[in-house]
Structure 1
Amino acid sequence: MDVRFLVTASLRDALTFWLPVACAGCGALDAEVCEGCRRALVPRPVRRVLAPDLTVTSALPFAGPTARVVRALKEEGRTPLARALAPALREVLRGAPPDALITTVPSTRAALRRRGYRPVELILRRAGYRDRRLLRLRRTPLDQRGLDRDARRRNVGGAFVAGPVAGIPVVLVDDVVTTGATLLEGARALREAGAATVVAVTVAHTPRHGGLGGESEVIDT
């Protein structure tokens, strides 16, 4: 484990002892995630078709408490929040083929240096799954925030390369899907490496405002 992560976690634990914890979802004191916000994290899976050969199943809408909890995990170093998000991810991974390899969208080196941990991998581990780290960055794309769908696809096009997965199904995991450009690029790299099939799952999906193509389907659980 990264030494910086251990140091950061120790400092955070020390501060937590002296300072009150506030709910990441609403700011209520004395809980990482209060009961009300935990109810907002109960999965409501939605499946979307990103391309004829790729679907993504997302557990939660990226709004309200969910969005605030995800941001606090990613940008504020609040790693215990991975446990609160893990049940939602576990729910959408239930349908994965038993012989599938599970891998995450890789973090950039700059993001890993800044945080000291990989948020998606952390949630996956808390959900009881192992990240096989099949994908790596061939080049570092720009930050996707603020880019439209076409610009996002150009930005990540050719960014990933995958290790050999000949004839094996793969489940690709990310935290949030917006336009689907990153997942489509990851799936392309995995298929190029020989994956038998690729499906995607995410903790959350952004509300559709013309960003994601295809029809959505609410999944009964």
Structure 2
Amino acid sequence: MTAHTLVRESLLDAAAILLPVRCAGCGRPDRTLCDECEEALRPAAHVQLVDGIRVWSALRYDGVARRVLLAYKDGGRTDAARALARALRCAIAAAQRDAEPGNGDAALLPVLIPSTRAAWRRRGYHPTRAVLARAHVLVPPLWGALRLSRQTADQAELTAGERAANRAGSFVASPRLSGRDCLIVDDIVTSGATIAEAARAIRAAGGRVSAAAAIARTPLRNPGQAQGALSGRTGNAACFPVSHRGDAHYGGPKGASDPP
């Protein structure tokens, strides 16, 4: 065990006494995430096509990842944001690398999927926004670039067709996106209806949709009939660790992407 690891473990043990927690992935006491669940959340970039858009994600929405995301979004476990930021950073970095031309100077503008008023009232914060702010990406997101033109129902219990109808025409994009190469950012990709609607709104405002990135993807039950057909997997090579100082690849100064 290195000195750095020893100090880190000692601080975690001290924090567990003062602020007792359980692992958000398995319920084991004394850690935000135990070592096993931390390992289960190791990101691996994966790409699929959704309505012609290359959508990058870093985790499968099942097992530990599903439990941690649910605990974070609906269980008040905001302490899990660090691990989720690492996953989102992986997906964004992979999308950026995939979109770069030979000279590597085309950075994509992150555009966040907005939250409904009902979800905001229930949680008190926008989960994906908080994770994206912590990911410290190179290009600061244009906060508020997408907004809801009408409130939509919770997508969780809807079929793919109902999700598309629920989202259709629900987003309006800022004219500030005109002429920009945009990267749509969401938490979980399921049917792709939200990504498709966001892309429609961005294009209507004159923007270009280069790709999308998400923390996790729902495993496809019938890939042959789904909106997005799997087109490839890059593996861990496209992922980079989150830099808590903001100085890793595709990183920027700490706070550069924090919401106002």
TM-score range, shorter chain: 0.7 to 0.9
Q: 1:146 Cα shift?
A: 2.0
> How do 1:1-221 and structure 2 match up within 5 A?
20-52=20-52, 54-94=53-93, 95-96=95-96, 98-129=106-137, 130-132=140-142, 133-164=144-175, 165-210=177-222, 211-220=226-235, 221=237
> Residue deviations 1:112-168, cap 9 Å, x none?
122111100111111113431210000011111222111110110000000011111
User: Which structure's CA Rg is the greater one?
Assistant: 2
> Residue deviations 1:170-195, cap 9 Å, x none?
11111100000011101110111111
CA–CA separation in structure 1 for the residues paired with 2:229 and 2:91: 19
Read off the aligned partner of 1:125 and give its amino acid letter. Answer: A
CA–CA separation in structure 2 for the residues paired with 1:19 and 1:111: 27
> Residue deviations 1:3-45, cap 9 Å, x none?
xxxxxxxxxxxxx876620000000000011111010111122
Structure 2 stretches lacking a partner, 5+ long: 1-15, 101-105, 238-260
Go from structure 1 to structure 2 and tell me whether the alpha carbon gap of 1:214 and 1:205 turns closer, same or farther (over 3 Å shift): same
Per the normalisation by structure 1, the TM-score is 0.87
Read off the aligned partner of 2:112 and give its amino acid letter. Answer: T
Read off the aligned partner of 1:69 and give its amino acid letter. Answer: V
The answer as to whether partners of 2:184 and 2:209 remain within 8 angstroms in 1 is no
The answer as to whether partners of 1:156 and 1:181 remain within 8 angstroms in 2 is yes
* Aligned partner of residue 197 in structure 1, secondary structure: strand
Structure 1 stretches lacking a partner, 5+ long: 1-15
Read off the aligned partner of 2:81 and give its amino acid letter. Answer: A
What's the Cα RMSD here? 1.6
CA–CA separation in structure 1 for the residues paired with 2:169 and 2:210: 17
Identity of aligned residues (%): 42
Per the normalisation by structure 2, the TM-score is 0.75
The answer as to whether partners of 2:51 and 2:227 remain within 8 angstroms in 1 is no
State the number of aligned residues: 205
> Residue deviations 1:30-78, cap 9 Å, x none?
00111110101111221001122x1211100001111111111100111
Instruction: Give the 4+ runs in structure 1 shifted more than 6 A.
Output: none
